[in-house]
Amino acid sequence: MMDGITGSTRLYAVVGDPVRQVRAPGMLNTFFARAGIDAVLVPVHVRPADLAATVLGLQLVQNLDGLLITVPHKVAVRDFADAVSPAVELSGSANAMRREPDGTWYAENFDGAGFLAGLLAFGHDPVFFDGHGGRGRRCGQRHRARGADRGRGDGAPVFTSTPAAPPRWPPAWSAAGRDAP
């Protein structure tokens, strides 16, 4: 925010249930202020039963430019995008949506890269992912793309970079191969 919130301030929201744990508003609002960007990011606590009404309503707010998505909405929010990135198509989950110049909404998922880099930098390989929510799906796909050689396709992926067993990947991930986004 430059001089407080005005009629020109661009809005962003982080949507989740709960939202007390989110740190993005503090970080991004500090960035906006330092960079002289007239924008604000606010946390919006939305229960799963209210997600559709909330997202559809927020998409009508003309000065709202984007949404960050957190638990438990990363999979469900995909349905409210007009277009999705290859990462969202592959993982079935999104952690961000932005309004395009034509007013449509584009979903993206940028989970995974930093998380895996941190694990691998500290020698955590093989890596076991127990969970298949929005972040788990994307992290597993990132690891697959970097060369992990096996996984378990029953919803809880197992990945390793060490050859120990023949590849067994969830079908969509196998089709994407190692060139997955």
Catalytic residue annotation: 74
Exposed (0-12), middle (13-18) or buried (19+): which is 109, by Cβ within 10 Å?
A: buried
Copy the structure tokens of residue 107. 């979903």
Find how far residue 117's CA is from the centre of its chain: 17
Exposed (0-12), middle (13-18) or buried (19+): which is 74, by Cβ within 10 Å?
A: buried
CB of 72 within 8 A of CB of 133?
A: yes
Q: What is the DSSP letter of 65?
A: E
Q: In 3D, which of 121, 109, 125 has the Cα closest to residue 164?
A: 125
